[in-house]
Amino acid sequence: MSTLHPDIEKVLFSETEIRRRVIALGRAITRDFRGKDLLLVAVLRGSFIFLADLVRAIQLPCALDFMAVSSYAGSESTGIARVTLDLKKSPVGKHVLLVEDVVDTGLTLARLRGALKGRGVRSMKACAFLDKPSGRRRVARIDYRGFTVPDGFVVGYGLDYNERYRNLPYLGLLKRRVFEHPGKADL
């Protein structure tokens, strides 16, 4: 049991809860993609911890690649989703599974789907560690979902606020004072 960070209001999902959920996702993906040429495309950078756990819960051969989309400044979405890193290898013939840490407005997922469409992939599905439906501005189809979270700033397990808190092993709700009065954050 890790100590609660002073900037965290409460733990939404503990390490144990996350581990159990990710294993269940891995099982579902293993079942659905058996016999298919699977390519996991992770969205940097927030998904790096989720990806590391998820890939070890998938009992199939699979390839990995990365993309990055820039859409945020501070706590507010700018609404601009620009591809800043593209795949290293061609996805032709692959069954692609997009791996996201959180789907909020849905802009990132829409941008990624758009960027991969017409590139010869056999199928495209999405796996999100978190779904935050309250923020949605685009329809976003999520085929595998870890948890649904309410409105509020969530951090940890790869998710940041201004590049901090990514290394918290749990998913926590950030105290309002941290983003309302940034100078007063602890640590």
Question: In this chain, which residue has its C-beta nearest to ligand PRP?
Answer: 46
# residues contacting ligand PRP (CB under 6 A): 17
Q: Which residues ranging from 55 to 74 are in contact with ligand PRP (CB under 6 A)?
A: 70-72
Q: Which residue has the tokens 């002073």?
A: 6
CA atoms within 13 A on the CB side of 64: 13
131 is catalytic: no
Q: Which is nearer to ligand PRP, 29 or 109 (CB)?
A: 109
Q: Which is nearer to ligand PRP, 53 or 104 (CB)?
A: 104
Distance in Å, CB of 28 to ligand PRP, minimum: 21
Cα dist from 118 to 43, 66, 142, whole Å: 19, 18, 20
Catalytic residue among 7, 53, 104, 131: 104
Tell me the pairing of strands 95-103 and 123-131: parallel
Q: Which is nearer to ligand PRP, 106 or 172 (CB)?
A: 106
Q: Which residues ranging from 136 to 175 are in contact with ligand PRP (CB under 6 A)?
A: 160
Using only C-alpha atoms, what is the Rg of the chain?
Answer: 16
Q: Which residues ranging from 92 to 121 are in contact with ligand PRP (CB under 6 A)?
A: 100-108
Q: Which is nearer to ligand PRP, 92 or 163 (CB)?
A: 163
Residues tagged active-site: 104
Where does this chain bind ligand PRP (CB under 6 A)? 43, 45-46, 70-72, 77, 100-108, 160
